[in-house]
């Protein structure tokens, strides 16, 4: 993990997504006071987009040159891909915490924030950071070699994810269930914006649902990447 983080830092490919997040957050809080949960709903979208962008850059920053050597070093392709995901997740989680704490520390809100609101906000930001990184797993160079096509596909997934529930009314009744297959970003945003109206049980259900979605994306990726490496080795040996 240390090697991957150091290598990414030296590549400077973190600059674009980091600058996007910082500039957007500073612009959002350039005026005060701000509503608490509505502001957190906006910054949760920002961390989702920024983390997906950061994840794609992280996974592609060495163009796979060291992947084979690192897999040999850890003696397991599945372990390597898990470490790779965890390394990107560490960055996303740190950014999430910073985004939630910054307006509290600088007094940007129109009222005090309760512990329940703080806990919900930081949980939502961290989940969307992990969700963004999980989506980026499927658009890295080893999966989609064409960088422009990969970026376009990721952008499409981000837009559909954030507009998920709002599209439901526009779709024919027979296919509205497809909305629930999209990455569950809109339920998190709606939960933050309507925090006082959402029951605790519903909040827990949304958090569990999003956590399960992230685990599914990461699990499928780990299995598929390991199987792909095994198939490549067999093909080369044959």
Tell me, what's the pLDDT at 64? 58
pLDDT at residue 63, as a whole number: 59
- CA-based nearest residue to 51, from 77, 87, 81: 87
Instruction: State mean pLDDT over 166-172.
Output: 72
202: pLDDT strictly greater than 70:
yes
- Identify the pLDDT of residue 235: 61
Tokens of 78: 């599945």
Quickly state the pLDDT bin for 66 (edges 50, 70, 90): low
With 60 as the cut, is the pLDDT of residue 98 above it?
Answer: yes
pTM, two decimal places? 0.90
Per the CB < 8 A criterion, the answer to whether 220 and 137 are in contact is: no
Q: What are phi and psi of 20, to 5 degrees?
A: -60, -50
114 by Cβ neighbours in 10 Å (0-12 / 13-18 / 19+) ranks as exposed
- Pick the more confident residue, 46 or 147: 46
Distance from first CA to last CA of the chain, Å, rounded?
Answer: 33
pLDDT cut 90: percent of the chain above it: 60
Range of the domain at 117: 2-165+174-237
Q: Which of 88, 106, 111 is nearest to 196 (CA)?
A: 111
User: CA nearest 156: which of 17, 47, 49?
Assistant: 49
Number of domains in the chain: 1
Classify residue 2 by burial, with Cβ atoms within 10 Å: 0-12, 13-18, 19+.
exposed
Do residues 61 and 155 touch, judged by C-beta distance below 8 A? no
Which segment of 81-85, 154-158, 162-166, 213-217 scores lowest on mean pLDDT? Answer: 162-166
Nearest to 69 by CA among 5, 11, 8, 4: 4
The pLDDT, as a whole number, for residue 59 is 86
DSSP 17-80: HHHHHHHHHHHHTTSS-B-HHHHHHHHHHHHHHHHHHHHHHHHHTTTTTTHHHHHHHHT-HHHH
Comparing CA positions, the residue from 107, 104, 108, 161 lying closest to residue 134 is: 161
């Amino acid at each position: 993990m240390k090697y991957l983080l150091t290598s990414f830092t030296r590549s400077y490919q973190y600059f674009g997504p980091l600058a996007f997040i910082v500039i957007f957050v500073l612009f959002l809080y350039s005026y005060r006071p701000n509503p608490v949960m509505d502001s957190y709903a906006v910054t949760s979208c920002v961390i989702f987009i920024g983390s997906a962008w950061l994840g794609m850059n992280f996974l592609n920053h060495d163009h796979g040159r060291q992947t084979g050597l690192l897999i040999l070093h850890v003696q397991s392709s599945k372990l390597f891909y898990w470490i790779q995901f965890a390394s990107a997740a560490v960055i996303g989680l740190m950014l999430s915490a910073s985004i939630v704490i910054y307006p509290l520390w600088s007094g940007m809100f129109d009222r005090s924030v309760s512990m329940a609101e703080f806990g919900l906000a930081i949980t939502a930001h961290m989940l969307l950071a992990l969700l963004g990184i999980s989506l980026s797993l499927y658009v890295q160079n080893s999966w989609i070699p064409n960088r422009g096509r990969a970026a376009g596909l990721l952008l499409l997934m981000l837009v559909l994810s954030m507009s998920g529930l709002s599209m439901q009314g526009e779709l024919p009744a027979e296919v509205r269930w497809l909305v629930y297959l999209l990455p569950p970003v809109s339920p998190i945003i709606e939960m933050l914006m309507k925090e006082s109206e959402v029951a605790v049980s519903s909040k827990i259900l949304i958090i569990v649902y999003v956590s399960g979605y992230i685990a599914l994306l990461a699990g499928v990726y780990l299995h598929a990447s390991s199987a792909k490496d095994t198939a490549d080795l067999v093909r080369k040996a044959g």
